[in-house]
Amino acid sequence: MARLATPFTDLAFCRATLSDGSRSFWLASQMLPAALKNAACGLYAFCREADDLVDEGDNPKQALQSLHTRLDAIYANDPHDSPVDRVLSHIVQDHDLPRELLDALLEGFAWDNDGRRYQTLSEVYDYSARVAGTVGVMMAVLMGIRDERTLARAADLGVAMQLTNIARDVGEDARNGRLYLPLDMMAQAGLDADTFMAYPVHSTASHA
């Protein structure tokens, strides 16, 4: 069994991760009841750490494999010796958080690592559902929501936020070698994806 640190120390680490990593999420979390605030911080800390390991590490595929192994231990209530894993293990037990949601999130990170491009808007929705819709559903689960229709709307909200981010960050993503715009929509607007990626600047191209 992993050696447990004090809950306060583990939660303090997760709070620091949230406050340093996302000011908007941190401010939003302050409006939540204390218990839910702690759970939101713990969930964010794992998602942030997972994203950083895959996005910035030397071996993304190994990082993904390690993250799945960590989830195995978390869901066996035997987390690795990590404050983030210990807090997430408590969240899983307290809120009966489905493993499938975290696996889907990691699948979205794997798509990023593969440099996947998306032919249609529907495929962009599929990606957004994994990297953001899952987070909306997980937050709803932490709030005690189990109604399928409400969970579906939580997923929709996450997808909408991701689509907003995609629209905002087109140039930055391209400079980082990533393209999330639907290829068929780009073609309809007279934009060649490879040319844009080589020289990602604003274009006046539009539908004829």
How far apart CA 34 and CA 196 sit, in angstroms, is: 47
pLDDT-based confidence at 37, cuts 50/70/90? Answer: confident
Q: What is the pTM for the complete model shown?
A: 0.88
Is the CB of residue 118 less than 8 Å from the CB of residue 180?
yes
Whether 39 shows a pLDDT value over 70: the answer reads yes
- Asked whether residue 207 carries a pLDDT value surpassing 50, the answer given is no
Q: Write down the pLDDT at residue 7.
A: 61
**Residues 59-76: what's their mean pLDDT?**
96
Model confidence over 116-126: pLDDT tens digits? 999 999 999 99
Q: Considering the chain, what is the average pLDDT of its residues?
A: 90
What class is the 1-97 domain? mainly alpha
* Whole-number pLDDT of residue 1: 36
Note the pLDDT of residue 203: 73
Residues 87, 43: contact at Cβ < 8 Å?
A: no
pLDDT of residue 8: 66
* pLDDT for residue 16 is more than 90: no
| 178 class by beta-carbon count within 10 Å (0-12 exposed, 13-18 middle, 19+ buried) | middle
Domain ranges for the chain: 1-97, 117-208
- 49 falls in which pLDDT band (50, 70, 90)? very high
Over 60: is that where the pLDDT of 78 sits?
Answer: yes
